């Protein structure tokens, strides 16, 4: 695979279908039947895999993907790149080129509002009607516990100390790290559910390796709201003594980004630099559209509520949801792991449901359960990795059960990159240059 640093070199495998112009959609028809419109809001792992599956499974549908960012950037495999351990290994995808190659439409626009009753999506580029809607807008940070309604401090914290847990922050985070001259570098692990649970531990270890190999006088302080992942915390002590200071059960209560001071349950922590990861919640559109759920006590939760087998919204039967924004799907394990692999599989499941229902399936379409694989660095040099596999089965009582297995990879030979490129090719339909 030739490495290309340029944007947008990847398109899709063409399927010979030309997109309908936006203005003509409402009046369009094919063979006497109105063409049904599917709008996908959020074109990343979940949304793009759903778009591709819809083209393959239901080519008669008019599929439109809307995302505010014209380029898809991968969070998977970004941690070793942040510290210069590897180049940026996952190519950036040009969404419009991918859409053109696969035969669906793409609009780069910020979605401001969804009206499920009128079946309309309001964007900075106009209003789009739909027959079926997939919302796959991922998650967002929730700073309210730390800063209340003080948006100025939220903005300062995000700009000065980005966490790099959304793709748009990666370059700024790398730039901040390159300016780090030493002292206390704080990272934190928020209370679950959060995105890619092993990622902060992998990052702590890679940061410690970076301090050590660059000869930077400093340490990584890890403030963990929970008890930590034992595979990592053991390695912290064995391989990076003096470089990682691990604090389990130490949630952040507030932050002063101007004075560089964090208040925790266990006292105050001063820092020279920090990657501040606040609690997470489904993207704000989900709440705006009335698609969030309730807990068993009837209180609102900030995650999307779906029929756990079909990914259909509990609030509106024309709306499906997939990816990191999902709430609890099982009383046995709660949320699906919030990973890219899982998001692609959920996108696929939702697309199959939409395809079947758009053809008027009278019975419930068959249930597809997702799965996830995650490759994590356990050590930087020599490289050591761990593959975490998660699978699901439907129990007799209709509850989803989860099984997790871990596989050591003491001599990795690019299995993580093969996995990532495989997802691009097989789930998103990107044809990769060789």
Helix axes 340-358, 45-57, angle to 10 degrees: 40
3-state secondary structure of 238: helix
Nearer to ligand FAD (CB atom), residue 44 or residue 309: 44
Q: Which stretch binds ligand FAD (CB under 6 A): 43-51, 56-64, 209-217, 388-396?
A: 43-51
Min separation Cβ 180 and ligand FAD, Å: 18
Count other Cβ atoms within 10 Å, centred on residue 242.
9
* Near ligand FAD in 311-330, by CB under 6 A: 323-324
Q: Is the dihedral of CA 346, 407, 166, 237 positive or negative?
A: positive
User: Which CB, 269 or 286, lies closer to ligand FAD?
Assistant: 286
Give yes or no for a contact between 42 and 343, defined as CB atoms under 8 angstroms apart: no
Q: How far is the CB of 62 from ligand FAD (least distance, A)?
A: 19
CB 102, CB 15: distance < 8 Å: yes
Residue 246 is a binding residue for ligand FAD (CB under 6 A): no
When asked if residue 281 is in the footprint of ligand FAD (CB under 6 A), the reply is no
Residue whose CB is less far from ligand FAD, 309 or 388: 388
3-class DSSP assignment, residue 76: coil
Binding status of residue 37 toward ligand FAD by CB under 6 A? no
339 touches ligand FAD (CB under 6 A): yes
- 187-216 residues in contact with ligand FAD (CB under 6 A) are 195-196, 199
Neighbours of 53 (CB within 10 A): 22
**Options 138, 190, 257, 302; binder of ligand FAD; rule CB under 6 A:** 138
Binding-residue pattern over the window 73 to 112 for ligand FAD, x denoting contact by CB under 6 A: --xx-xx------------------------------xx-
H-run or E-run covering 211: helix 199-214
> Cβ–Cβ contacts within 10 Å for residue 1, how many?
12
CB hemisphere CA count around 99 (13 angstroms): 25
Residue whose CB is less far from ligand FAD, 62 or 67: 67
Question: What's the min distance (Å) between Cβ of 26 and ligand FAD?
Answer: 22
- Is 65 a binding residue for ligand FAD by CB under 6 A? The answer is no
The answer to whether residues 35 and 19 touch, using CB atoms and an 8 Å cutoff, is no
With contact defined as beta carbons under 8 Å apart, do 188 and 277 qualify? Answer: yes
User: Taking the complex as a whole, how short is the minimal distance between the CB of residue 344 and ligand FAD, in angstroms?
Assistant: 8
Task: Report, in Å, the least distance between residue 323 CB and ligand FAD.
Answer: 2
Distance separating alpha carbons of residues 90 and 88, to the nearest angstrom: 6
Indicate the residue among 65 and 223 with the shorter CB distance to ligand FAD: 65
Question: Distance between alpha carbon 169 and the CA centroid of its chain, in Å?
Answer: 13
Strand order, beta sheet including 111-115: 111-115, 120-123, 126-129
Of the pair 310, 338, the CB lying nearest ligand FAD is at 338
Residues in region 357-416 near ligand FAD by CB under 6 A? 374-375
- Closest to ligand FAD by CB, 42 vs 293, is 42
CB atoms within 10 A of CB 395: 10
> Distance between CA 380 and CA 203 in Å, rounded?
10
Q: What is the DSSP letter of 122?
A: E
Q: Which residues bind ligand FAD (CB under 6 A)?
A: 42-47, 66-69, 75-76, 78-79, 110-111, 136-138, 165, 195-196, 199, 283, 285, 323-324, 338-341, 343, 374-375
């Amino acid at each position: 695979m030739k490495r290309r640093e340029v944007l947008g070199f990847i398109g899709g495998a063409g399927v010979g279908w030309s997109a309908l112009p936006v203005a003509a959609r409402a009046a369009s028809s094919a063979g006497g039947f109105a063409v049904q419109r599917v709008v996908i809001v959020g074109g990343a792992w979940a949304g793009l895999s759903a778009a591709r599956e819809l083209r393959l499974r239901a080519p008669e549908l008019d599929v439109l993907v809307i995302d505010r960012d014209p380029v898809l950037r991968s969070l998977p495999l970004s941690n070793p790149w942040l510290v210069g351990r590897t180049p940026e290994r996952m190519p950036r995808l040009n969404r419009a080129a991918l859409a053109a190659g696969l035969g669906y439409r793409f609009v780069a626009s910020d979605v401001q509002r969804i009206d499920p009753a009128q079946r309309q999506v309001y964007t900075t580029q106009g209003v789009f009607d739909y027959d079926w809607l997939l919302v796959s807008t991922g998650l967002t940070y929730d700073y309210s516990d730390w800063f209340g309604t003080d948006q100025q401090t939220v903005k300062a914290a995000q700009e000065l100390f980005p966490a790099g847990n959304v793709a748009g922050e990666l370059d700024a985070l790398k730039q901040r790290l390159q300016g780090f001259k030493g002292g206390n570098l704080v990272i934190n692990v928020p209370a679950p559910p959060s995105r890619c649970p092993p990622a902060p531990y992998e990052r702590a270890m890679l940061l410690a390796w970076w301090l050590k190999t660059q000869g930077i006088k400093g340490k990584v302080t890890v403030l963990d709201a929970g008890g930590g992942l034992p595979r990592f915390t053991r390695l912290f002590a064995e391989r990076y003594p003096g470089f990682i200071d691990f604090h389990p059960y130490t949630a952040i209560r507030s932050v002063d980004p101007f004075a560089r001071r964090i208040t925790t349950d266990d006292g105050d922590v001063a820092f020279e630099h920090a990657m501040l990861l606040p609690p997470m919640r489904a993207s704000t559109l989900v709440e705006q559209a009335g698609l969030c759920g309730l807990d068993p006590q009837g209180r609102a939760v900030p995650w999307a509520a779906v029929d756990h087998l079909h990914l259909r919204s509990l609030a509106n039967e024309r709306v499906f949801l997939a990816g990191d924004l999902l709430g609890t799907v099982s009383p046995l394990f709660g949320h699906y792991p919030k990973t890219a692999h899982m998001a692609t599989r959920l996108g696929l499941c939702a697309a199959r449901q939409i395809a079947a229902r758009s053809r008027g399936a009278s019975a419930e379409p068959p249930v597809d359960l997702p799965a996830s694989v995650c490759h994590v660095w356990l050590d930087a040099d020599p490289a050591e990795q761990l593959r975490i596999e998660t699978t699901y089965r439907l129990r007799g009582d209709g509850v989803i059960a989860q099984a997790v297995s871990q596989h050591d990879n003491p001599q990795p030979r690019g299995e993580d990159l093969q996995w990532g490129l495989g997802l691009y090719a097989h789930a998103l339909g990107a044809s990769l240059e060789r």
